[in-house]
Amino acid sequence: MAPAARHQKSRARAIYVLNGPNLNLLGSREPEVYGRTTLAEIGKSVAKRAKSLGFSTVFRQTNSEAELIQWLQEAGQNAAGVILNAAGLSHTSVSLLDAARALRRPLMEVHLSNPYAREKYRHHSFVSEAATGVICGLGADGYLYAIDHLAHLLKGQTA
């Protein structure tokens, strides 16, 4: 296999794990709601699980809606699937919904807390309208379940 083709195939087996605003504060921000696990710890456990299933990860966090949208567009070109925790943008961003709809890749939406047990404005997620599946209220383990499900969906697919 030519080096360029090998590189393209490895990119296609990547799962993008994209995180939105304030998730950089995990472990210290409202631990009674979001838990004490840091985003770096989640990233390590997700990478380990993905590797065991034959995938790599691209794990990112931003406080910028525009950057999150750019990453979704990039994932549409390079990823096998996407896990998205858009945080508060889930409930407010039609632009993020549009980017998710254009993805043409399996998209798992993850929320650490259960938005339905929280304030009413959190009960609607624009991202859910484009998601293959939604995992909420399971804390950091939700990311691992999302990796498992994406691997199941992608099993047998080639680049």
Catalytic annotation, residues: 34, 111
Give the Å distances, CA to CA, from 128 to 33, 77, 97, 158. Answer: 21, 21, 8, 26
Token pair 């691209």 is found at 58
Closest by CA position to 112, among listed 47, 52, 27: 27
Q: From residue 93, how far is each of 1, 4, 70, 77, 117 by CA, in Å?
A: 42, 36, 14, 22, 21
Written as one string, the DSSP assignment of 16-60 is EEEE-TTGGGTTTS-HHHH-S--HHHHHHHHHHHHHHTT-EEEEE
* Residue 118 amino acid letter: R
What phi and psi, each to the nearest 5 degrees, are found at residue 65? Answer: -60, -40
Cβ neighbour number for residue 114 with a 10 Å cutoff? 13
